[in-house]
Chain A
Amino acid sequence: MTVESSAARKPRRSAAGKAGTTGSKTGTTGDTTGATGTKRTTRTARSTAKKSADTQLVQLLTPEGKRVKNAEYDAYVAGITPEELRGLYRDMVLTRRFDAEATALQRQGELGLWASLLGQEAAQIGSGRATREDDYVFPTYREHGVAWCRGVDPTNLLGMFRGVNNGGWDPNGNNFHLYTIVIGSQTLHATGYAMGVAKDGADSAVIAYFGDGASSQGDVAESFTFGAVYNAPVVFFCQNNQWAISEPTEKQTRVPLYQRAQGYGFPGVRVDGNDVLACLAVTKWALERARNGEGPTLVEAFTYRMGAHTTSDDPTRYRGDEERLAWEAKDPILRLRRYLEASNHTDEGFFSELEAESEALGKRVREAVRAMPDPDHFAIFENVYADGHALVDEERAQFAAYQASFADEGGH
């Protein structure tokens, strides 16, 4: 097995003082992980991943925008119309515009934080557009493009980043669950939900989003186990954007992530995450398997986080510009534009109208955020319980009395 690398087990030099953050973070034997050993490990894993990516990646559109044939997945996008292709392009452009606006709003102090999806538009729009209305989506906190596809108003996503709520949209309104911040937890919720779908005899499917970092979480492993054992109609959609804050994928896995599925007894596929057509096709295939009672699928969308982890992050501390430039050449929006133009599916009017629509969206989002009121003070005590709780009632009353004590002084 290639996993059994000798590098990890090699006796390490006693370099407790030199171990640094990498060693202490990654291994249970962190105190003895020398810098040399870590480097060797990294190199081995990186070359393995590259090689495998080259041979296994499902791609329907090259970075240059050329349509390539794929015997297995072409069927899932065979009937796609020029209008639908323009729709995918529009989705990606508007999502990127919304994302940029949110980043700007954070810089202006209107949002406390923003987790940008820049670079992951194809993975999200392709997979999101593959879902049916009755399907159910379990996102992380970065699925702004999927939310867009589900019809969740983008301004609804911003409340939690502005700090006026912790979510707050009705998950059942669009079958789009609340953003989950604890990494990987939602994959179990998705699996349980899918178990319920199966019990109901419905033919809906469930899709759970997570990332390369989350793949290390026990909950993700347990969701694979439960999903497989109960043959649940769930698609595990991993956006491998190469970075979990500062840690590259090599710090999470020694095998390509999609290969993990094999050990659980369901198929795993690596798809070009910057190719919206491929993401659409592969996700449609996986959702169809779920609907047909064939159980879970792991889709690894191989993509790149073009921006920082969040607005609080500084990627210059851990990665170079070359990597980003290499991925910029594979930009998801650019490649679909090249394809659309080469196929004469668009004209200048389409792009200029979209430009105007983007700016209007940016303006609407900006205004909506600035107008978003702070919650009422008593919101602290609301919805803690569905059926109430004596202590919450008591503390709410105390808080009210305390607040009222200021009113006596002619204050607020």
Chain B
Amino acid sequence: MAEKMAMAKAINESLRRALDTDPKVLVMGEDVGKLGGVFRVTDGLQKDFGESRVIDTPLAESGIVGTAIGLALRGYRPVVEIQFDGFVFPAYDQIVTQLAKMHARSLGKVKMPVVVRIPYGGGIGAVEHHSESPEALFAHVAGLKIVSPSNASDAYWMMQQAIQSDDPVIYFEPKRRYWDKGEVDFEAIPAPLHKAQVVREGTDLTLAAYGPMVKLCQEVAAAAAEEGKSLEVLDLRSVSPLDFDAVQASVEKTRRLVVVHEAPVFFGSGAEIAARITERCFYHLEAPVLRVGGYHAPYPPARLEEEYLPDLDRVLDAVDRSLAY
């Protein structure tokens, strides 16, 4: 049974299914109950599953993650919402020093099946701290898994898989794609959570992206096709672990790679991809791996964000520079 729905609704349906099938699953966060979350991703869940399962928490992010850890120790599978990307930092300590390390610290005796949902990224004209892309700050931490869906179907299935994971998963939701609709097949057999997917085949250059930038890269590939350039688009889907085999396979074919993300380029996931692909594909590459992303500056006020965010022309410019080698 398939249905066309917005990504926000797909996540909602996925949470609903998890709450329905596993009594240990909890949804918790600020305003997730009665309001249904500021983006309405948890809309109606408290009404159907009650205040004990869908929990409006105090306004304290460290408390949300810290108590989720305790609930996980008790056998629950909490899915917590951090309201916006820029508000995760009070919880950063709990995520990095406790959530990520508990399994190793206990020599595997304690599991941490906690999902931390973070609506992230820009492009919605928001005020400060509401448009950031902090995924690299989490990818650096062993013990965490980091994923970001780019479409409704992946949003649904990757949430199912994240909740079933016995490891903590940071689930980055591209908030500017929340209302993009896509087909969701509720009986599909989903691809493995941490595998990348080729979403457009090409021969001249690979564009690698995840989350909000996948759609942009598809638009870039369509524009480039009009100019006779064949671009392959790879939806990485998972930042940690990152499917380097898929990137390598694509680059061995196209010999050129441009990585696109909203996060600042400096020490971003593109840097890690560039380094590893240079090691793996040194003799295949016709050009250095290029990156398109945010600048080494605070995320700008909304009136400037179009200049800061990668867009069609900036990615095409990088494509041209790569092809010029």
Q: Which A residues are closer than 8 A to B by beta carbons?
A: 165-168, 170-172, 177-178, 180, 182, 185, 187-197, 199-200, 218-219, 222-223, 225-226, 229, 382-387, 389-392
Residue interface bits B142-155, CB-to-A below 8 A is 1, else 0: 11010000000000
Q: Which residues of B pack against A, CB within 8 Å?
A: 52, 57-58, 60, 62-63, 65-76, 90, 93-94, 97-98, 101-112, 142-143, 145, 165-167, 194, 240-244
Hey, which chain A residues are within 8 Å of B97, CB to CB? 182, 185
20 contacts between A and B (CB under 8 A): A171-B109, A178-B110, A185-B93, A185-B97, A188-B70, A190-B70, A192-B70, A192-B73, A195-B70, A196-B75, A219-B63, A226-B63, A382-B108, A383-B106, A384-B104, A386-B112, A389-B145, A389-B241, A390-B194, A391-B242
Closest to A227 in B: B67
Q: Name the B residues within 8 Å of A194 (CB-CB).
A: 70
- Chain B residues within 8 Å of A182, by CB: 93, 97-98
Q: How far is the CA of A187 from the CA of B63 in the complex (A)?
A: 10
Name the residue on B nearest A234 (C-beta).
B70
Specify which of B67, B94, B104 is in contact with A383 (CB 8 Å cutoff): B104
Query: 8 new A-B pairs (CB below 8 Å) besides A170-B106, A189-B67?
Result: A172-B110, A188-B63, A192-B67, A225-B58, A226-B60, A385-B143, A386-B103, A391-B242
- CA A177 – CA B98 in complex, angstroms? 12
Partner of B66, one of A172, A191, A197: A191
> Given the complex of chains A and B, what is the CA–CA distance between A200 and B76 in angstroms?
10
Which residue on chain B has the smallest CB distance to residue A173? B109
A219→B241 contact, CB < 8 A = no
Residues from chain B with Cβ under 8 Å of A192 in the complex: 66-74
Whose C-beta in chain A lies nearest to the C-beta of B107?
A168
Q: Which 10 A-B pairs have the closest CB atoms?
A: A192-B70, A188-B66, A196-B74, A192-B67, A222-B63, A386-B166, A193-B70, A383-B108, A189-B70, A390-B241
Residue of A nearest to B60 (CB): A222
B residues less than 8 Å from A168 (CB atoms):
105-107
A189 in contact with B66 (CB, 8 Å):
yes
Shortest CB–CB separation between residue A152 and chain B, in angstroms? 13
| A389 / chain B contacts, CB cutoff of 8 Å | 142, 145, 167, 240-241
Known: A172-B109, A178-B106, A387-B165. A191 touches B67 (CB 8 A): yes
Closest A residue to B74 by beta carbon equals A196
